[in-house]
């Protein structure tokens, strides 16, 4: 009699049938268990590996995506540094070439259009620089200074960079030139270009310091602060707070018209906020108050004779689904402090319903 493991000759029929039915069910259960393991265990393993430190990930090379991300970020930072160094070197070369060749016009052309048109004694300042470096400076080294940047909704709207031109003593008395320039300025493209050259040197008897150019104010914060205070006053219907922002000699009849106009302002400004039909708050950028401006300064050397900034504000949306816009001029004079933002006072004002 065959008693092998595969023999079913002496097994009751009921058990034979049961055995045949259990085999496919068991395989199905095993497949389900394997799927569960893949669904539960693999994500947990992935999360654990992702939680590893960046150094351990890149050092061991176990997560290619982590290493790729790190390398991409490093390349991006290297590119930014490389771009800055390249632009600094280009400015330094143009400055040195102009000074060494005695080309005053070439040096002046490096300055922003705003500086060329508004600094009354710019030519005199440039002449002083050429007088100091009579023999030029063929040799020099560069030292990075840094940069200042303003971002708006993820976009660079203003960038100012600086560096040092270090001139060795064997060429001239040991000196340094601090160079400052803007390469991005969306609010006023006329201010893009060379801002200042500040000489820090020595003559035969004492140290010497002087500047060429002028450090123009960006008015970024001033324009936005004044706009915000105006919108807030309109939303609250607070004419007293609004009146404080205007110059003391603002026309009384015009102020009364502004007061009456405030009564027609409907709702409260959303200031970027939005709401769904169910009342849930969200933000998508479409309800932001928009602000732009341009400035008109009068300069004599480093003395500010007067500052005027024209500001446009629009997309002022309220919870009553109304939309408004305004435009105004604000001025600041060194001899008279205004009552508005940073000494500014409004001298001209218009308000409209869009």
Going from the C-alpha of 4 to that of each of 8, 9, 10, 354, the distances in angstroms are: 9, 10, 11, 95
Confirm whether 20 is domain-assigned.
no
Q: What's the angle, vertex CA 30, arms to CA 24 and CA 35, rounded to 5?
A: 130
Buried b (16+ CB within 10 A) or exposed e, 192-221: bbbbbbbbebeeeeeeeeebbbbebbbbbe
Report the pLDDT value the prediction gives residue 66, as an integer from 0 to 100: 39
Worst-scoring range by mean pLDDT, 71-85, 214-228, 244-258? 71-85
User: Per the domain annotation, does 201 fall within a domain?
Assistant: yes
Question: Where does a domain end: 213, 239, 259?
Answer: 213
Residue 44, in any domain of the structure:
no
What does the alpha-carbon distance between residue 124 and residue 148 come to, in Å, rounded to a whole number? 29
Coil, helix or strand at residue 354: coil
104 and 224 housed in the same domain: no
Question: What is the mean predicted confidence (pLDDT) over 163-189?
Answer: 82
Q: Distance (Å, rounded) from C-alpha 212 to C-alpha 34?
A: 76
| 203 within domain boundaries | yes
User: For residue 283, what pLDDT is reported?
Assistant: 80
Q: What is the mean pLDDT of residues 152-180?
A: 82
Instruction: Give the mean pLDDT of 105-112.
Output: 96
pLDDT over threshold 80, residue 75: no
Two tokens at 184? 């991005």
74 has a pLDDT exceeding 60: no
155 or 268: which leads in pLDDT: 268
| CATH number of residue 252's parent domain | 3.10.450.50
- 81 and 158 part of one domain: yes
Task: Provide, rounded to the nearest whole percent, the portion of the chain with pLDDT above 70.
Answer: 69
Unique residue bearing structure tokens 């960079």: 161
Neighbours of 145 (CB within 10 A): 14
Average pLDDT across the chain, whole number: 77
Average pLDDT over residues 154-180: 82
Are 162 and 249 in the same domain?
Answer: no
> Greater confidence, 208 or 270?
270
| Same domain as 207, residue 77 | yes
Burial class (CB in 10 A: 0-12, 13-18, 19+), 231: buried
Q: Is residue 56 part of a domain?
A: no
- Of 213, 247, 282, the one marking the end of a domain is 213
Domain shared by 290 and 172, yes or no: no
b/e per residue, 310-323, with b = 16+ CB within 10 A?
Answer: ebbbbbbbbeeeee
Looking at residue 155, its pLDDT comes to: 84
| pLDDT at residue 18 is higher than 80 | no
pLDDT at 53 over 70: no
Six-digit token string for 144: 């990075």
Q: 233 with 331, same domain?
A: yes
Over residues 250-258, the mean pLDDT reads 94
Answer yes or no: is 3 within a domain: no
22 inside domain = no
> What stretch of H or E contains 311?
strand 303-317
**12-26, 147-161, 275-289, 315-329: which range is least confident on average?**
12-26
Q: Is the pLDDT of residue 3 over 70?
A: no
Question: What local confidence, expressed as pLDDT, does residue 42 receive?
Answer: 54
Task: Determine what percent of the chain is predicted with pLDDT higher than 90.
Answer: 38
pLDDT value at position 301? 62
17 lies in some domain: no
For the record, the structure tokens of 23 come out as 């085999």
User: What total of structural domains would you count in the chain?
Assistant: 2
Domain that holds residue 341: 220-353
Does residue 266 share a domain with residue 169? no
**What is the predicted pLDDT for the residue at 340?**
45
Is residue 166 located within the same domain as residue 229?
A: no
* Mean pLDDT of the 195-211 span: 78
Average pLDDT (224-252) is: 93
C-alpha of 225 from chain center: 17
Task: Provide the pLDDT for residue 106.
Answer: 96
Residues 234, 342 within the same domain: yes
The answer to whether residues 178 and 253 belong to one domain is no
**Is the per-residue pLDDT at 72 higher than 70?**
no
- Phi and psi at 40, nearest 5°, equal -90, -50
Q: Are 241 and 283 contained in the same domain?
A: yes
Q: Is residue 76 domain-shared with residue 201, that is, in the same domain?
A: yes
Higher pLDDT, 26 or 85: 85
d(CA 260, CA 247): 19
Query: Do 94 and 106 form a contact (C-beta atoms < 8 A)?
Result: yes
What pTM was computed for the model? 0.57
Cβ atoms 159, 183 nearer than 8 A: yes
- Band (pLDDT 50/70/90 cuts) for residue 293 is confident
């Amino acid at each position: 009699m065959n008693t092998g493991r595969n023999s079913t000759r002496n097994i009751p029929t009921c058990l034979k049938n049961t055995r045949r039915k259990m085999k496919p069910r068991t395989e199905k259960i095993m497949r389900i268990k394997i799927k569960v393991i893949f669904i539960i265990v693999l994500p947990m393993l992935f999360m654990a590996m992702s939680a590893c430190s960046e150094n351990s990930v890149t050092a061991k090379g176990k997560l290619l995506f982590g290493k790729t991300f790190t390398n991409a970020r490093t390349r991006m930072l290297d590119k930014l540094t490389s771009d800055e160094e390249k632009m600094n070197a280009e400015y330094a070369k143009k400055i040195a070439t102009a000074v060494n060749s005695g080309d005053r016009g070439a040096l002046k052309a490096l300055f922003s259009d705003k500086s060329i048109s508004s600094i009354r004694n710019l030519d005199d300042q440039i002449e002083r620089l050429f007088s100091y470096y009579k023999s030029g400076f063929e040799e020099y080294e560069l030292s990075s200074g840094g940069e200042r940047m303003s971002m708006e909704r993820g976009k660079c709207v203003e960038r100012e960079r600086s560096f040092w031109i270090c001139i060795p003593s064997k060429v001239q008395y040991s000196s340094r030139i601090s160079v400052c320039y803007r390469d991005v300025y969306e609010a006023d493209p006329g201010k893009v270009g060379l801002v200042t050259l500040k000489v820090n040197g020595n003559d035969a008897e004492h140290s010497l310091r002087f500047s060429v150019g002028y450090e123009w104010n960006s008015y970024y914060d001033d324009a936005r602060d004044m706009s915000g205070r105006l919108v807030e006053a309109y939303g609250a219907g607070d004419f007293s707070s609004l009146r404080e922002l205007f110059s003391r000699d603002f026309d009384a009849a015009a102020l009364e018209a502004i007061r009456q106009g405030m009564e027609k302002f409907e709702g409260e400004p959303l200031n970027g906020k939005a709401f769904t039909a169910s009342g849930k708050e969200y933000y998508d950028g479409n309800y932001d108050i928009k602000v732009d401006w341009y400035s008109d300064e009068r300069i004599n050397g480093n003395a500010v004779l007067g500052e005027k900034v024209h500001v446009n504000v629009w997309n002022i949306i309220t919870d009553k689904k109304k939309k408004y816009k305004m435009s105004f001029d604000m001025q600041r004079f060194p001899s008279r402090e205004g009552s508005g933002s940073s000494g500014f006072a409004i001298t001209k004002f218009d308000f409209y319903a869009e």
